[in-house]
């Protein structure tokens, strides 16, 4: 028996193919409507598949008459062998057809089972339509961090401000509010890149320690690269009646500390250093190594891109247990970099500054302040 599949756009077309190739005696074994195979098969029109068969006629093969004694036994054996071979060939062809049908049915089953099962990418694409995702993205929060934050969000599509605020509160580590940002040492170093407002920040903290906490404060400036920096700190020291020492090399720090030994707190302003300049970083390291027990505050601008901020933190990683102060919060409209650091490194966070007023425009960064930043325009 010869079995073969035929395909056509409609029943008339496929039947014409069957008759043309197998003849009018062909038998239809199976008929169904299918979609074309391939990546874009679902976009094409359905086709008709027909499995047809026909009994093959023996071609010029004369069946020997076994009753005729004159028939040579060799011819009988030849006929039986030919008959066995043909049957085996038909069985093989039929088995292949059956295997093909099983394979197609298996593919259909798998496609049905996979319908509406979202992948991770699909799941994240859905989240990108959510209100909270766009709030975080608008604030330039790191996308990898957004994915982590939203992974356990049960109210992803809510627009209720209290519900969103409640979820974000859970996303911010408790250690931000439960840390002690006060200096653990009498000596406080302030380091960081140029132009971040380091000198003004020192003046604000010095004023708070002196006026609000009643502590006796002393100042040291090592920023002799900029005359204006020394003069600026000198103005603040005169207004606050706080003594100021100026040093020009790391070794001079010891004499300056001796002169201010009777003070409760000594704050040291260092020169602004580019995190991309190895020589500058080594000079800073040399100064810090002159003093044993100390607290270090890394001052960075809120206008710094998160990619640059990560580089800065990496360069300053040689300093143990430093705290971060974000300045110029009043100059930015997005607060993603602050949230990125607050979630990834909550133990680093200390103050933020939001203006030039001394000593008013500085406060401890808390989870409530971060939430107010993120939800500012809602």
pTM for the full model? 0.61
What is the CATH number assigned to the segment(s) 174-374? 3.40.50.300
What are the domain boundaries of the chain?
A: 1-60, 71-115, 122-171, 174-374
* DSSP H or E run through 34: strand 27-34
Of 266, 256, 243, 238, nearest to 358 by C-alpha is 238
pLDDT per position as a tens digit, 16-51: 888 888 887 787 777 888 877 655 555 567 888 888
Measured CA angle at 220 (ends 301, 225), to 5 deg: 65
* DSSP H or E run through 112: helix 73-114
Whole-number Å distance between alpha carbons of 373 and 306: 17
Of 170, 169, 172, 137, nearest to 343 by C-alpha is 172
Inter-residue contact 161 to 242 (CB < 8 Å): no
* Residue 218 DSSP code: E
200: three-class secondary structure by DSSP: helix
pLDDT per position as a tens digit, 333-357: 778 788 888 877 777 888 888 888 7
pLDDT per position as a tens digit, 227-285: 566 788 888 888 889 999 988 888 999 999 999 999 999 999 988 777 777 887 888 88
Cis check for the bond before 361: say yes or no (omega within 30 of 0).
Answer: no
């Amino acid at each position: 028996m010869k079995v073969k599949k035929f395909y056509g756009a409609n029943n008339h077309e496929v039947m014409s193919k069957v008759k043309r190739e197998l003849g009018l005696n062909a038998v239809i074994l199976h008929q169904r409507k299918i979609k074309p195979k391939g990546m874009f098969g679902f976009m094409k029109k359905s086709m008709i598949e027909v499995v047809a068969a026909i009994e093959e006629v023996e071609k010029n093969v004369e069946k020997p008459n076994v009753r005729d004694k004159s028939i040579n036994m060799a011819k009988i054996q030849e006929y039986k062998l030919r008959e066995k071979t043909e049957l085996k060939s038909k069985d093989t062809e039929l088995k292949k057809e059956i295997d093909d049908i099983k394979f197609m049915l298996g593919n259909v089953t798998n496609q049905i089972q996979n319908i509406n099962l979202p992948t991770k990418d699909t799941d994240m694409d859905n989240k990108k339509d959510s209100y909270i995702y766009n709030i975080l993205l608008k604030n330039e929060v790191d996308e990898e961090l957004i994915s982590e934050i939203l992974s356990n969000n049960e109210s992803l599509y809510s627009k209720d401000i209290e519900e969103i605020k409640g979820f974000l509160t859970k996303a911010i580590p408790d250690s931000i509010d439960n840390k002690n940002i006060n200096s653990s040492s009498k000596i406080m170093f302030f380091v960081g890149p140029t132009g971040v407002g380091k000198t003004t920040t020192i003046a604000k903290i010095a004023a708070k320690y002196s006026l609000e906490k009643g502590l006796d404060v002393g100042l040291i400036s090592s920023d002799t690269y900029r005359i204006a920096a020394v003069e600026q700190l000198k103005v603040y020291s005169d207004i606050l009646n706080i003594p100021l020492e100026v040093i020009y090399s790391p070794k001079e720090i010891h004499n300056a500390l001796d002169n201010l030994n009777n003070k409760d707190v000594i704050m040291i302003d260092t020169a602004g250093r580019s995190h991309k300049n190895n020589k500058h970083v080594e000079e800073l390291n040399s100064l810090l190594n002159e003093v044993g027990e100390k607290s270090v505050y890394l001052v960075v601008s809120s206008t710094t891109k998160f990619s640059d901020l990560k580089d800065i933190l990496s360069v300053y990683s040689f300093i143990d247990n430093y705290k971060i102060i974000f300045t110029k919060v009043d100059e930015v409209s997005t607060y993603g970099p602050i949230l990125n650091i607050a979630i990834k490194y909550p133990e680093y966070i200390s103050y933020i500054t939001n203006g030039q007023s001394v000593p008013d425009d500085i406060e401890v960064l808390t989870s409530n302040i971060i939430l107010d930043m993120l939800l500012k325009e809602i």
